[in-house]
Structures are given as C-alpha cells and as structure tokens.
Amino acid sequence: MQVITQVNELRETMQALRCSGKSIGFVPTMGALHEGHLQLLRASAKDNEITVCSIFVNPTQFNNPDDYKLYPRTLDADVELLQTTGCDYVFAPTPEAIYPQHTMLQFSFGKLETVMEGEFRPGHFSGVATIVGKLFNMVQPHKAYFGQKDLQQVAIVRQLILGLGFNIELVCYPTVREADGLAMSSRNKRLNADQRKIAVSLHEALELARKQLAHTPLPTIKEAVAEYLRDKPEVELEYFEIADPLTLQPLETIADVQEVALCIAAQVGPVRLIDNLVVNLSEV
C-alpha cells in the first residue's frame, strides 16, 4: 500500500492505472476510520482491481470552526487499519494541496439542500460537493463508495455525478452499527463514557418511529420521538423527519409510498450526531 500526499503524483499514478485498463474503486473519508469505512474499502477491493482511500478533513464543509478544529485526526492509526482492507493507495493531502488558493466555487442543489442537514448547516453541501468533485477529478474512479449513515450526502453526490456527467458508479452500503445500535461515526470518539451510553437513544428513537409507521399519524410519531428524547441527559434534538429516501423531502403522508427515510440529528454533549433508517413499508 502506498501513501500519496501530492496531487500531481496522485493524478499521474491514477492515469497510468486507467491507461493499463485497471478498474479503480474509491472511498473518500475524513479519517478516524471505523468498521463502517472498512466495510466500504473491503467492498471496493472485492469489486475493483485497485482501491484508493482518501483521508482529508475538509475545511469547506464545516460551519463551526471549533468542530473542524476538534475533528479527530488519526492518520497513522488509519494507515495501519487500511493495511488489512485491500486498499492499494492512500491519498492524504494537506489543506494547502487541495486548496492552493481560497475557493470561490459554490454549488446549489435546490430543495435537496434546504432540509435537514442543509437547513441546520448552511453551505455544508456546497463544501461537500466541492471536495468530492475535486477528488473525483483527481482519482477518476470507476466506482465510488459511500455509507448510508450520511444519506443526504449520498443524495447530494448522486446529483453531483448526474449534474457534472462524471462517469462514476455510486455505491451505497448500509450503516454499520455498534452492538447496542449506535451508528458508527468518527465523531463517536469525542463522546465520554456517559455520553456514549446515552447516544444510543438516537437509534432507539428511530426504532420507536419505525414501529409506529403502520398505524400512527406522522405528526404523532414526530411528537413521540421528541418526547422520548426530551428527558435524555445531554441530548438536544435538532430534527427528526420522515422523508422520501431519494429526494429527502419531508412527507405529509405515507399513503402510496413504498419506502420512507427516518432521519435524525441531535447534539449529545459537545458532539453532533446523525442517523437514519430507510424503511420498506411492506415490512412494518
């Protein structure tokens, strides 16, 4: 496995591989790797002849400077973990390598970025699209792998691929969870022991909503979720939505709908966490 830090070296290496006919899979990450990332990397290694993982904490997608500053950075441990996944190349650039000058580029995704994460983190998805577009251009993969935990991000990347005509197949894998149901996230590393125990309440709230879908009006489900989390110590609910899983637009009714996305975000102590469930209504 080779670690690359320079953009030119990455471009030259990837161009040579593509010219030789190699299939390339790509897993973009911000590091602090966990089993969710490793699942994506193993899938890429199985599907492709070459697998590339990027590790880059992207400053343009953070609304809160403290959140960017405190985001866990564990490059040495990440590289060691990647040795077991079939990863061939790690791209670990500096911010200066990715953004040699201040970027003025802005993306707009219409209604898709006005709800949920877009509403609470204005400008976030423009930053996501900027870095993903840059990385797609540098790596030029055949397939790119993302996790369902960041469901709205997946929808944004799908639109980015379609809108800019990238010849890339988007592959989305289910959320990987801890034994108690907490969605694996790099941010979990910032939780203390008590906060870690209470963080599972987000998944519990989603399960509560899922069980009520077949027989309860949507506004009542939303109130039940809010009520469930209201008395949890150090948990502050930002949003809970019942939405279309592709457009992420909130649903007023689930009549004639096959699938719904239950999406949640909350502060747990100092850490902002998100989670979701995509539910097939024929199974509830």
DSSP letter at 17 equals H
Among candidate residues 207, 166, 162, the one with its CA nearest the CA of residue 183? 207
Residue 254 lies in a domain: yes
Residue 238 labeled ligand binder = no
Q: What is the pLDDT of residue 77?
A: 97
Assign 284 a pLDDT band (cuts: 50, 70, 90).
confident
Residue 34 labeled ligand binder = yes
Q: What is the pLDDT of residue 63?
A: 87
Residue 114 lies in a domain: yes
CATH of the domain at 107: 3.40.50.620
Catalytic residue numbers read 37
What distance in Å separates the CA atoms of residue 128 and residue 123, rounded to the nearest whole number? 9
Tell me, yes or no, whether 71 and 12 share the same domain: yes
**13-24 mean pLDDT:** 98
What distance in Å separates the CA atoms of residue 62 and residue 75, rounded to the nearest whole number? 19
Q: What is the pLDDT of residue 281?
A: 92
Residue 21 labeled ligand binder = no
Residue 181 lies in a domain: no
Which residue, of 119, 145, 173, is where some domain finishes? 173
Q: What is the pLDDT of residue 104?
A: 87
Tell me, yes or no, whether 132 and 158 share the same domain: yes
pTM for this entry: 0.95
Residue 39 labeled ligand binder = no
CATH of the domain at 249: 3.30.1300.10
Residue 215 labeled ligand binder = no
DSSP letter at 283 equals G
What token pair was written down for 254?
Answer: 């689930």
Q: What does the pLDDT look like over 56-104, one tens digit per residue?
A: 999 999 988 989 999 999 999 999 999 999 999 999 999 999 999 988 8
Which residue, of 173, 206, 228, is where some domain finishes? 173
Assign 43 a pLDDT band (cuts: 50, 70, 90).
very high
Tell me, yes or no, whether 43 and 123 share the same domain: yes
Q: What does the pLDDT look like over 106-164, one tens digit per residue?
A: 999 999 999 999 999 999 999 999 999 999 999 999 999 999 999 999 999 999 999 99
Render the burial of 107-139: b for 16+ CB within 10 Å, e for the rest: bebeebbebbbbeebeebbbbbbbbbbbbbebb
Residue 201 lies in a domain: yes
At 125, the amino acid letter reads F
Residue 30 labeled ligand binder = yes
Assign 236 a pLDDT band (cuts: 50, 70, 90).
very high
23: Cα separation from own chain's centroid: 24
Percentage of the residues of the chain whose pLDDT score is greater than 70: 100
Among candidate residues 22, 31, 83, the one with its CA nearest the CA of residue 54? 31
Q: What is the pLDDT of residue 278?
A: 97
Tell me, yes or no, whether 160 and 251 share the same domain: no
Assign 54 a pLDDT band (cuts: 50, 70, 90).
very high
What distance in Å separates the CA atoms of residue 246 and residue 261, rounded to the nearest whole number? 9
Among candidate residues 104, 82, 108, 88, the one with its CA nearest the CA of residue 25? 88
Domain that holds residue 137: 2-173
Better-scored residue on pLDDT, 78 or 214: 78
**24-35 mean pLDDT:** 97
Residue 278 labeled ligand binder = no
Q: What is the pLDDT of residue 244?
A: 96
Residue 103 lies in a domain: yes
DSSP letter at 255 equals T
Q: What does the pLDDT look like over 163-173, one tens digit per residue?
A: 999 999 999 99
Q: What is the pLDDT of residue 283?
A: 87
> What does the mean pLDDT of the chain come to?
96
Residue 180 lies in a domain: no
Residue 196 labeled ligand binder = no
Tell me, yes or no, whether 206 and 259 share the same domain: yes
Q: What is the pLDDT of residue 93?
A: 98
